[in-house]
Structure 1
Amino acid sequence: MADSKIYHFDEVCKHNITKDCWIIIDGKVYDVTSFMDEHPGGDEVLLAVTGKDATNDFEDIGHSDSARDMMAKYYIGKIDSSTVTKNRTYVQPQQAPYNPDKTSEFVIKILQFLVPIMILGLAFAVRMYTKVD
Structure 2
Amino acid sequence: MASDPKLHTFDEVSKHNKTKDCWLILSGKVYDVTPFMEDHPGGDEVLLSATGKDATNDFEDVGHSDSAREMMDKYYIGEIDPSTVPLKRSYVPPQQSQYNPDKTSEFVIKILQFLVPLLILGLAFVVRNYTKKEE
TM-score by length of 1: 0.64
1:56-109 CA-partner distances (Å, limit 9, x unpaired): 000000000000000000000000011011237xxxxxxxxxxxxxxxxxxxxx
Larger Rg: 1 or 2? 2
- 1:82 corresponding residue in structure 2: 83
Aligned ranges 1:1-133 → 2 under 5 Å: 1-87=2-88
Equivalent-residue separation in structure 2 for 1:66 and 1:84 (angstroms): 28
Amino acid at match of 2:47: L
| Shift, 1:38, TM fit | 0.1
Equivalent-residue separation in structure 2 for 1:87 and 1:11 (angstroms): 18
Equivalent-residue separation in structure 2 for 1:6 and 1:64 (angstroms): 27
Sequence identity percentage: 73
| Shift, 1:2, TM fit | 2.9
SS at match of 2:70: helix
SS at match of 1:45: helix
Equivalent-residue separation in structure 1 for 2:56 and 2:25 (angstroms): 7
Unaligned runs of 5+ in 1: 89-133
Equivalent-residue separation in structure 2 for 1:20 and 1:85 (angstroms): 22
SS at match of 2:25: strand
Equivalent-residue separation in structure 1 for 2:27 and 2:3 (angstroms): 16
Structure with the larger helix share: 2
Equivalent-residue separation in structure 2 for 1:31 and 1:60 (angstroms): 20
RMSD: 1.0
